[in-house]
Structure 1
Amino acid sequence: MRTNPTGRQLRVGAELRKLRERAGLSSTAAAQQLGMKQAQVSNMETGRVGVSAERVRTLASQYDCSDPALVDAIAGMTGDRKRGWWEEYRDILPGTLLDLAELESNSMRLRSAVTVHIPGLFQTTEYAREVFRQSVPQLPPPDVEHRVSFRIKRQAVLFQESPVPQQVFIHEAALRMKLGGRDVTRAQLKHLLDMNEREHIAIGVITFDTGVLAGSGQSIYYSEGPVPHLDTVNLDQSHGPVFLDAEAQLHKYRVLLDRMEAASLPPAKSQDFIHSVVHDL
């Protein structure tokens, strides 16, 4: 039995619980219907035991789920779990950070919105180092370097053979924040310009002229799954990532990101705007 299930394993269990609850069954009633013990149902739903794709389909059938795309998507999250590069950090960094890397590697598309920092997947090494140096409580130098290397390795999803599409909304405040000084900021913005030229990346700048915009006071990171029901929102908090997947929450953050898209400059004009900020440094 697993003692520390990963975020992906927890999500499979949570989705099985949602299927059961939509069927109007208690865990006890479901166990009786499936010929199992109630503890077995609970352990599956909390990610403490593995679930095969075949078991997922059996459960979905018993729960009268009429959404084959959803069932296929959940089944696709099961089976033998491949050991990702992030596992080398298992005893070094918090598990939620590893869950974030695994989430990114399985995402169909990533959308993010930030106000005061450049998004992590677009940070240079020096910029990331300055971000982590500001942590409270202060991180020891070795821990800073572990987090920097982890953040840079996460960026592989942008450079692999089939890169994950990215849509990013960056507030002007983040562009003008001289984190680490002018040289670090200039190098960071030039890197951002280079990334915006890639076909699978679209960067939109939200200028000061936009005024107040709903959701702009927080960092939003939205991962699209194989079906919308399996999307995930990550909110970057000072104590670490917080993952949300309730249907109402997903809808809320889709709306917020859509509003930010409507308020931001298109990628070409954003490119020109970032050039102007670099010129002002």
Structure 2
Amino acid sequence: MGLRANPSQRQKRLGQELRRIREESGVSREAACRHAGMHKPHLSHIEAGRTACSATRLRALLDLYGCTDTTLIETLVDMSAASGRGWWSEYRELSKGRLWDLAELEWSATAHRSFQWMLVPGLLQTRDYVAALFTHTEPAVPSEEGARFAEFRLRRQEVLFADPPPRYHAVIHEAAFHMHFVSRKIRRAQLEYLVEISQLPQFTIQLLPFRSEMPPATPGAPFTILAGRADSLCTVYVEQPVTSAFISDPAHVEEFAATFTRLSMAAFDPLDSTLLHATSSYRLVQHLLYIL
């Protein structure tokens, strides 16, 4: 079997986790290879995500490493066996491998924590909001290609209504609802949609007001923390203008988690139509609807 030239995020994440567990156990690469009956280059390629690892060999390695976390073991086995083919495979012409990685990661995540300060998070955008964004892209893309990107984003949203759905917690800066590249009518409908879905148990939506002492550019880029079935498999997706990034280093993931906690504490209370006090997100939504 040939080596993968462009491993998917799932394949790279599996290899990274195997290497982390091995190194923390103190088992050398040479000892692991002897135990699993493989050559050192083979294990190196597995840990880099460039080649597959059978379930039998994977379990043998994890047993050698002393891993007893059943949830983690079964999750890694499932990651190794996954084909990577899903509904996102229908959008190959977009040639955006990271978008496919993101879609696959979203569908395997048990919880999402998302921060946005200029836009509504992609998974919460209405159809008209999505269409408006892809109509005014910079640099401009052909209308047919923009329509496919918009369709892809709307397909991604289906994960939030799966059975069972993942938990979804969003902190959205108030600035997102003052951006004029989306019309007042669309912004109003978007706010009303957020109120509607906030009634569902899987959603926690908070607005971060202008009067918060936390600056809107802290952090400087929107991000989403995607929780895996095992605690150690959390991944952060950071949106960047040129190329977005997946971050899996535990220390960096913890930094983003701490940042999200601070943002959540600085934001108004979760969107709930029964809460009308001064620091409620619903109260701010009603104000925004009034002035739009």
TM-score (norm 2): 0.89
SS in 1 for 2:80: coil
Q: State the match for 2:237 in structure 1.
A: 234
Q: State the match for 2:286 in structure 1.
A: 275
- The alignment's C-alpha RMSD in Å is 2.0
**Deviation (angstroms), 1:24:** 3.7
The answer (yes or no) to whether the contact 2:84–2:104 under 8 Å persists in 1 is no
Residues of 1 paired with 2:181 and 2:139: CA distance?
19
Q: State the match for 2:250 in structure 1.
A: 247
The answer (yes or no) to whether the contact 2:32–2:61 under 8 Å persists in 1 is no
Aligned AA (1:237): Q
In terms of mean alpha carbon deviation, does 181-190 or 220-229 score higher? 181-190
In terms of mean alpha carbon deviation, does 140-149 or 178-187 score higher? 178-187
The answer (yes or no) to whether the contact 2:36–2:57 under 8 Å persists in 1 is no
In terms of mean alpha carbon deviation, does 74-83 or 235-244 score higher? 74-83
The answer (yes or no) to whether the contact 2:35–2:61 under 8 Å persists in 1 is no
**Deviation (angstroms), 1:134:** 4.3
**Deviation (angstroms), 1:59:** 0.8
Match of 1:126 among 125, 128, 135: 128
Structure 1 residues 166-216: Cα deviation after superposition (integer angstroms, max 9, x where no partner):
000011111222332212222222222212121211101111111225834
| Structure 2 residue 10 is the aligned partner of structure 1 residue 8 | yes
SS in 1 for 2:170: strand
Q: State the match for 1:222 in structure 2.
A: 225
**Deviation (angstroms), 1:39:** 1.9
For this pair of structures, how many residues does the alignment match?
281
Q: State the match for 2:56 in structure 1.
A: 54
Alpha-carbon spacing, 1:35–1:52, altered in 2? closer, same or farther (3 Å):
closer
SS in 2 for 1:168: strand
The answer (yes or no) to whether the contact 1:93–1:147 under 8 Å persists in 2 is no
Alpha-carbon spacing, 1:132–1:239, altered in 2? closer, same or farther (3 Å):
farther
Q: State the match for 1:142 in structure 2.
A: 144
TM-score (norm 1): 0.92
SS in 2 for 1:127: helix
The answer (yes or no) to whether the contact 1:114–1:216 under 8 Å persists in 2 is no
SS in 2 for 1:237: coil
Alpha-carbon spacing, 1:38–1:125, altered in 2? closer, same or farther (3 Å):
same
The answer (yes or no) to whether the contact 1:108–1:223 under 8 Å persists in 2 is yes
SS in 2 for 1:77: helix
| Percent pairwise identity | 33
Q: State the match for 2:166 in structure 1.
A: 164
Q: State the match for 1:106 in structure 2.
A: 108
Alpha-carbon spacing, 1:240–1:197, altered in 2? closer, same or farther (3 Å):
farther
Unaligned runs of 5+ in 1: none
Match of 1:74 among 58, 76, 99: 76
In terms of mean alpha carbon deviation, does 131-140 or 175-184 score higher? 131-140
